[in-house]
A and B are shown apart, each in its own frame.
Chain A
Amino acid sequence: MRRIKELVLNNFLVVRAVFMREILYWIRYPMWFLTFFSFPYLVSGLFYSIGYALSGENATKYFSERAGTTNVFLYQLVGSAIFIISILMIEEVGYSIRAEQLRGTLEYNYIAKANKIVLWGSVVLPHGLVSLSTLAISLIPALYIGLKSINPLDLILGILVLFIGLLPLFGIGFIVAALTMRFKEPWAVTNIIKAFLSAFSGFNYPITILPLWLQYVSNMLPTTIVTNIIREAILFNRKLYTMNYQLGLLIFMSTIYSITAFTVYKKWEMEARKRGELSKY
Chain B
Amino acid sequence: MRDYAIVTKDLTKVFITKERKGFLKRGTKKRIIAVDHVNFKVRNGEIFGLLGPNGAGKTTTIKLLATLLIPDDGEAWVNGYHIVQEADKVRESIGVSLYSDRGLYWKLTGRENLRYFAFLYHLPPKVAERRIEDLLEIVDLKGDADKLVEEYSTGMKAKLNLARALLNDAPILMLDEPTLGLDPYSARRVRELILKLRDEGKTILLTTHNMEEADNLCDKIAIINKGKIVALGTPEDLKRMVERQDIVVIEAVNINETLIKILRSKDYVSYVSENIKDPLSMSGTLRIGLNENSREALPNLLALMAKYKIKVQYIKVTGPSLEDVFITLTKRGFYEEDQRTSTK
Contacts and interface: CB of A to CB of B under 8 A. Distances in A.
Interface of A: 9-10, 13-14, 16-17, 20-21, 24-25, 28-29, 103-105, 107-114, 119, 270, 273-276, 278-279
Contacts of A29: 107
A143 to B, nearest CB: 34
A104 B99 contact: yes
A112 B121 contact: yes
B120 A119 contact: yes
Contacts of A111: 66-68, 91, 94, 96
Interface string B68-105: 11100000000000000000100110101011001111
B122 A13 contact: yes
26 contacts: A13-B123, A13-B124, A14-B119, A14-B120, A17-B116, A17-B119, A20-B116, A21-B112, A25-B105, A25-B108, A103-B102, A104-B98, A107-B63, A107-B68, A108-B103, A108-B117, A111-B67, A113-B120, A270-B70, A273-B69, A274-B69, A274-B70, A275-B15, A275-B16, A278-B68, A279-B98
Contacts of B63: 107, 276, 279
A279 B64 CA distance: 12
Contacts of A109: 120
B193 to A, nearest CB: 19
B308 interface: no
Contact of B98 (A10, A107, A114, A270): A107
Given A110-B68, A276-B15, A276-B69, A25 B107 contact: yes
List of 4 A-B pairs having minimum Cβ-Cβ separation, nearest first: A104-B102, A17-B119, A112-B120, A104-B103
Contact of A114 (B15, B102, B107, B122): B122
B92 A113 contact: yes
A103 B119 contact: no
A14 B118 CA distance: 9
B108 A24 contact: yes
A13 B104 CA distance: 19
A195 B103 CA distance: 33
B168 interface: yes
Contacts of B168: 113
A114 B91 CA distance: 10
A123 B119 CA distance: 15
Interface string B207-237: 0000000000000000000000000000000
B224 to A, nearest CB: 17
B309 to A, nearest CB: 46
Contacts of A9: 124
B120 A114 contact: yes
A218 to B, nearest CB: 38
Contact of A105 (B13, B105, B124): B105
Q: Taking each of B88, B106, B122, which has the highest tally of chain A beta carbons within 10 Å of its own beta carbon? A: B122
B287 interface: no
Given A14-B122, A278-B69, 18 more contacts: A17-B117, A17-B119, A21-B116, A25-B107, A25-B108, A103-B102, A105-B104, A107-B63, A107-B103, A108-B96, A111-B68, A113-B88, A113-B122, A114-B119, A114-B120, A114-B122, A274-B70, A279-B68
Nearest to A277: B69
Contact of B122 (A10, A105, A270, A278): A10
Contacts of B105: 21, 25, 103, 105
Contacts of B103: 103-105, 107-108
B115 interface: yes
A14 B102 CA distance: 22
A105 B13 CA distance: 23
B131 interface: no
A14 B168 CA distance: 14
A20 B109 CA distance: 12
Contacts of B159: none
Nearest to B97: A108
Given A103-B102, A108-B164, A113 B91 contact: yes
Contacts of B70: 270, 273-274
